[in-house]
Chains A and B, each alone.
Chain A
Amino acid sequence: MGKLRPGTIILVVCLLALAVLPWFAEKYYVQLFTKMMIMAIFAMSLDLLVGFTGLVSLGHAAFFGVAGYVLAFAAPEYEAANLWVSLPLAMACSGLLALVIGVLVLRTSGIYFIMVTLAFAQMVFFLFHDTEFGGGADGIYVYAKPVAAIAGWEPFTLENHTHFYFVVLALLVLVYTGLRILLDSLFGRVIVGIRVNEHRMRSLGYRTFRYKLACFVLAGVLAGMAGYFAAAQFGFVNPETLGWHQSGSVLMMVILGGMGTLTGAVVGAFSMILLELGLQGLPAIGGMDLSKHWQLLMGGFIVCAVLLLPHGLLGLGRTASRLRRKPAEARDG
């Protein structure tokens, strides 16, 4: 393996582009990209489950949303929460929830797992929807963005959208690198082994339940990190934030980009959000306002993507380059 693969170069170029973006873009676009990066972290956390461990969760938004609620509770009206306290707290709460749900859902597998994760996320949804403590169905505000003060010193302020952008960018890089390291560690090898052949892992002496649970909790914690910053950015948390449509759309991001690759999750998150914007911005053609029925196109797109892009957008690029390089070998699948 060469040191400078084209993939690496593209990655570095993208990173540089992201790093200089705030100097060129208006506030709206800086915030848009902040949102995309937050969703990218969320998508990576799900990819850890779906793409690497082989656990298809359809309730991942529960951990995303709960962290947002924790931030909302930690920041009472007109009083900002401290980032260094509330962020770990939010992530811990998401992790704890993932632990409790994980112990139950990991007793199942396959189709059961999909349905059970969905159902448990729905249970959390109702918990926030039907009780007043989180503002019920109307949701709850995060009045002020968290303050990053350590003993009076404030390295950055999240109220500034550029600062916020860079904090999220740093976290994106951190999570990406962290997961890269993780996947190459003993633990990482185990979870990938579980995806490929869990039965064999067990007969080799691995207590796979523990590793799956650890992975589920870790994914929950990272989803919590994303949910925390999403809540901080939008300033608003609502039960729908942890609803199953949110879970479905993040799953779509993972697949669209190409699951089992961290870059894929990031690419998926970015393209999905841009695609949605693009579809909603379609002009009227021949008396039919397409933008009013953009969800029809989105549905059609998803169906086509599943049938035509089995390995996601990244897979598309890879197939293309493989075909170019070695046309003879491309036939073996």
Chain B
Amino acid sequence: MDANTFLIQVLNGIQYGLLLFLVASGLTLILGIMGIINLAHGTFYMVGAYLAFSLSQHFGNLWLAMAGGVVIAVVIGLVLEWLLISRLYHRDHLYQVLLTYGLILIFEELRSVVFGDDVHGVAVPEILRVSIPLTETLSYPVYRLWMSAVCLVLAVGMYFLIQKTRLGMIIRAGAANREMVQSLGININLLYRLVFALGVALAAFAGMIAAPVASVFPGMGNQVLIVCFVVVVIGGIGSVKGAMLAAILIGLVDTFGKVISLEIGGVQLLPQLSGMMIYVLMAGVLLARPEGLFGKRA
């Protein structure tokens, strides 16, 4: 691998990692702040992608579709929290797992009823439909760079929201002590509802900006979900910083796992087993730091 290709691969890894971060950040917020494990998180990613598809057809414009999609996602989040999730705070995680597993089935079938099982494409907006030539054969699509930029902006925004604002302070306090926040006269139920809606919106938004490059297809949420779990486990529950670092780490490991050849004792390990790489990484992190890179020790 020459230096040029290597650098491009690093760019690929970071770019993939940033998108993963966007999906995983919602998951880690819901987990860390509300203590809710949400298996349907990947499903919201899928919902976002389908929203981008159907709304952009309706409006004829991806930007409008994204704005509308975020609003719808927030509404979905608020309704779900009010209707179902709010009943789970005092229940074992087990029930959260099951309820959200049920939600996966429901959303997948609803998707099938409403949109069918076709693969759909979403057009990249006109102004971003250009590529920057990097080598004589390879160019880099500007849309991907734009995606990365959006992810970075959101990451910084989230960091400020949580570390520097009053809302963030309350959120952080809520994560530590539900009763304490309640006693301060803050409506914790409303707070949790908003956090859940924010998480759903983040996942859906990730689905929307990924739709033009990923296309829209059944089952697209589930593969994202498990990778996001790995991101959260490596980064540490509730840590946005950890999620960022872990996502980029996974992006790089995944990228290089696919293109590097590794042979030990005559057995081809890579790229044969590249699918396992991120789990091996996770096992390693667990051995060294069971609570994740930036997790709080229980």
Contacts and interface: CB of A to CB of B under 8 A. Distances in A.
Q: Do chains A and B touch in the complex (CB under 8 A)?
A: yes
A252 B93 contact: no
A181 B275 CA distance: 42
Contact of A303 (B102, B113, B226, B291): B102
Interface residues of A, number: 43
B108 A248 contact: no
A38 interface: no
Given A111-B31, A112-B237, A116-B233, A126 B275 contact: yes
A114 B287 contact: no
Q: How large is the interface on B (under 10, 10 to 19, 20 to 34, 35 or more residues)?
A: 35 or more
A310 interface: yes
A298 B37 CA distance: 20
Interface in B106-141: 106-110, 112-113
Interface in A35-60: 50, 56, 58
B31 to A, nearest CB: 6
A296 B113 contact: yes
A300 B110 CA distance: 11
Contacts of A296: 105-106, 109-110, 113
Determine the main DSSP class of A at the interface with B: helix
B103 A303 contact: yes
B84 interface: yes
Contacts of B232: 115
B159 interface: no
Interface stretch (B46-54, B165-173, B191-199, B277-285): B277-285
B68 interface: no
Nearest to B113: A293
B279 A119 contact: yes
Contacts of B101: 248, 251-252, 302
Given A126-B279, A252-B101, A119 B226 contact: yes
Given A114-B37, A120-B283, A299 B95 contact: no
Given A107-B286, A306-B99, 15 more contacts: A56-B93, A107-B287, A114-B93, A114-B97, A116-B286, A119-B226, A119-B229, A126-B279, A130-B274, A248-B97, A252-B98, A299-B107, A303-B103, A306-B98, A307-B84
20 contacts: A50-B94, A104-B287, A108-B233, A108-B290, A109-B298, A110-B298, A116-B233, A119-B226, A119-B279, A123-B279, A127-B273, A130-B272, A130-B276, A248-B101, A251-B98, A255-B98, A299-B104, A306-B98, A307-B99, A310-B91
